Structure 1
Amino acid sequence: MKKILGNLRKAVSEFNLINENDQIAVGLSGGKDSMTLLYALKLFQKFSPVKYHLEAVTISMGFENFNFTPLKDFCNKIKVPYTIENTHIGKIVFDLRKEKNPCSLCANMRRGALYNVMQNRGLNVLALGHNKEDTIETLFMNMLYNGRIKTFLPKTYLEDRNIKVIRPLVYVSEHQILAASKRHSIPIVKSPCPVDKQTAREDTKNLMLHIYKHAPKAKDRILTSIKNKDQFELWFDV
């Protein structure tokens, strides 16, 4: 956990992610990333240079086979207030709309539900568990599927909602998260989503694993290139 906290602290400092008296909600899906993020932010409270309040929020998609008990127990154990918001997003996306590519609509609806819960509870910062690999995969997905050179930012601000969205794990590797979740007995609940592991993101993840195998330093070099705004040589400069 020491490496994760070190990388989290680096991101918080470099991108000014957390300010004094921020009211932070962790979007808790039950996956390894969000669960580890919640635990890391709870530990970081002890030595953070600024004070902040921490809660966890889960958006229930309406799937009957999702077990919330491990999430509730973990939040109770680390003494973090926990809210479950019940929705019918799963039914809307898969049964009513019958989306062939459901991920974008699902993500937008979940995010909207999260914002509503946050505003009702007086929370102004949403912390998401995207890690180093997620950052890189999003870059390649946008290039391959959307024709854009773009990935998510460590910090964004939604003026219409007065909510700041932060990603404190952008310097943390998936390997570090897996190791920490096992070492600290952080519970992980499998996603009940019908298209879990069958998405374009999963295909991109497998592509990147192939690249990392043949170019072991590619991960850090791609992340460095994302930050290197002075070294772009693209056609719009011609």
Structure 2
Amino acid sequence: MSEEPAKQQKTRLNKLQKRLRREAGRAIEDFNMIEDGDKVMVCLSGGKDSFAMLDILMNLQKSAPIHFEILAVNLDQKQPGFPEHVLPEYLAQVGVSFHIIERDTYSVVKELIPEGKTTCSLCSRLRRGTLYGFAEEVGANKIALGHHRDDILETFFLNMFYGGKLKSMPPKLLSDDGKNMVIRPLAYAREKDIAAYAELREFPIIPCNLCGSQDGLQRQVVKEMLQDWDKHHPGRIEIMFRSLRNVVPSHLVDTELFDFKGLERGYPQGAAAQRGAEPASALPEMIDILSL
């Protein structure tokens, strides 16, 4: 490689790192993901997203105004042909504390899921349960996952198209039992930026041969739909993601989210209980979207 391309490559890497650092830092601040004294268990699958997340968190750790601990954890699910040496060698090289959990969830999934059926649901439940339990064992009060902005949008459309629910994948989530706090520091990061960063950093990517190679997955269909929109309608993805941060309950149809029955003239927030609120005539005039 000539000197000029190498220099351009370094410049591109620096720009991507700065962008991912900025986006991760903003997500961490917006959702109060990491606080002083936290022990963050960074879940490393061997894919580009988790490699990038660990790299960025380690980078932020050096300059953060607070102290937090990082423990990288990989769940070895005993998939045939899984290169067990790759992650320990990489983690030792970068100098981060790490632990490899060995659980044969692969055999469980193959035994319970009929041939040809998707394995993602069961695999993720088994993986999540193992990681939650280990976080308690090591005293980690935060569990960091590598999901990014595109994952969040894909989950939104999956729930809408196939689940009949208007929900997505939150940047910060408390587990049902209240014992584990899950955070997603890459919530604002674009997948294509992460992919480019992973390539430039030359992470030792390990493909998932259990579920990642299956065809016809609903998530893959949605992913391709979003990629097509991004290609033919630049900016649409950014606008859609922005909409997840600008929810207007009074303009949806969920009676539990908004008090439609209690909606009265003069009380635009729908509350007979808000008798003390300013009447509608005293409020700023709203834009009529039909006139635009």
Q: C-alpha distance in 2, partners of 1:193/1:90?
A: 8
Alignment of 1:1-238 (within 5 A): 1-98=17-114, 100-158=117-175, 160=177, 162-194=179-211, 196-198=213-215, 199-230=217-248, 233-236=251-254
Q: C-alpha distance in 1, partners of 2:79/2:129?
A: 18
In the alignment, structure 2 segments of 5+ residues that lack a partner are 1-16, 261-292
Q: 1:195 to 1:171 in 2, by over 3 A?
A: closer
Q: 1:138 to 1:54 in 2, by over 3 A?
A: same
Residue type matched to 2:226 in 1? M
Q: Is the 8 A contact 2:118 2:211 kept in 1?
A: no
- 1:187 Cα deviation from its structure 2 partner: 1.9
Q: Is the 8 A contact 2:120 2:211 kept in 1?
A: no
- 1:82 Cα deviation from its structure 2 partner: 1.7
TM-score normalised by L of structure 2: 0.77
Residue type matched to 2:204 in 1? P
Deviations 1:71-116 (A, max 9, x none): 1122112211221111121111122343723211211110000011
Q: 1:234 to 1:65 in 2, by over 3 A?
A: same
- 1:197 Cα deviation from its structure 2 partner: 4.6
Q: Which structure has more RCO (C-alpha within 8 Å, separation ≥ 6)?
A: 1
Deviations 1:143-202 (A, max 9, x none): 111111110111112363522100000111112111211222222111121552522111
Q: C-alpha distance in 2, partners of 1:31/1:68?
A: 14
Give the SS at the match of 1:126.
Answer: strand
Q: C-alpha distance in 2, partners of 1:161/1:85?
A: 23
Give the SS at the match of 1:150.
Answer: coil
- 1:19 Cα deviation from its structure 2 partner: 0.8
Give the SS at the match of 1:224.
Answer: helix
Residue type matched to 1:8 in 2? A
The Cα RMSD (Å) is: 1.8
Between stretches 23-32 and 66-75, larger displacement belongs to 66-75
Q: Is the 8 A contact 2:119 2:211 kept in 1?
A: no
Aligned length: 238
Regions of 4+ moved over 3 Å? none
Q: 1:224 to 1:231 in 2, by over 3 A?
A: farther
Q: C-alpha distance in 1, partners of 2:238/2:22?
A: 16
Give the SS at the match of 2:244.
Answer: helix
Deviations 1:15-57 (A, max 9, x none): 1000111111111110000011011111110111221100111
Deviations 1:106-147 (A, max 9, x none): 111100000111112111110000011111001001111111
Query: What percentage of aligned pairs have identical amino acids?
Result: 32
